[in-house]
Structure 1
């Protein structure tokens, strides 16, 4: 992995680690579905402004609908799932479940895309999952039905991310005719195809959401803005470029680092405690990254 890609990888992990904290602050005040919709809408608007200032006008032709579908899988469903999980799971736990995405990508790649499994890839993923498991022991939760539902939501999101990483490589990879900027922008519009109907359904089922959103404090809205502009719009620019340059397996190793940042942000901003489990788990994750990212791994 090049130095530029490594910098993108670390920056992406920091942004996505922060996303779980932003959701934890916003969701209790705004609700899960409004938070997810706000995230998708702000990321789309932010990207539109940036691309407009650059004078960029995407010409997609036959790629429009595939990119919209990519947005549903890569953004819309995961945004909603993680917002739902934020109602019952601490931010670190959602980030820990997110770290199982590379393992899911190995399974999906083998079963659906004909990818070969190498010993180094398996060893790195297993070691990374071990590090995540150690982190999970830093603060165990009681397995109530609500917690299990939150875990299921996180698992659904990881499956979506695994599939979308391969689709991204095909649609916006280094040899693709689609520019990364266009792919990111259209995919965020695609996310709204599932999020907006979800919001309308939520408003019908829970009319109290309207006054809840209107009366939400500015702190909650501020976290949605950070979630949409930094942890989504900017993050997906880095992520799509990483997939184009390094491939889906190496790009998805970012999810191993995300829990480390999520824990660090919690410690620095929310006074959440650190423990030896965090240090041991972080060390195992770092070793797994070295195994997966070293030049001999394919």
Structure 2
């Protein structure tokens, strides 16, 4: 297949480019002039070129260039940095949807989502609900344009949630004390970002996932925060002091935070108090590790070893 990655120099995008090349697809990566003098992004794009990817000059400020880029491929995967709170990302995604509609040749489009399934978050707390509402606006535009799609819900990125033992405001394991959300027994789903990229590329070209939501929910990585802490304690040989915070006290923190921070805190609340990633059933034909059993996904026991 010919696969175009939009946002290929980003956190998840660079992994999707690599996964697409490894799957043997003819991989195209949008090169936006807006990178300006960002030498690291340019060098990353050139490294893709050396690996066999095709760099396609295109800009969201030049709609025709976007349409021309889309016309060159069969599949478009958007990996623009997530729909950030009150960002212009929504407008960019809608422009991309319109370019795909005008081009009229795309066999599959994957919008930039990859987190919690927004269709299940209609009752999410404000102000964080805006993130999910924006993603649903993009979905509505895709479906109204009759564009074949696959939505991917990848749950918790391990880099942000596993290494920190799901503590906020850090990316590495705490050394002495950890705060548990409630009793710490609510299940979440932790997934290595390289595995997410592999599953995304496989789903993007799989006829079984046409016009479906695919959930990345590897069974060995469905874990509570307390289980993650216990895994780290076993690996590190250190027992952490455990403090618990109630849902009421957790939400009370909102009053002292800015808008974006309140949004993020609300997402944490839904994951670790509501269990929004695991409080519903997923059929086998919607779950990535069942669809692609050949992928040897990273267990969190192994993932945490990088922090030792």
TM-score by length of 1: 0.25
Point out which structure has higher relative CO (alpha carbons under 8 A, 6+ apart). Answer: 1
Higher strand share goes to which structure?
2
When the two structures are superposed, what TM-score results if normalisation uses the length of structure 2? 0.24
Q: Which structure would you say has the larger Rg?
A: 2
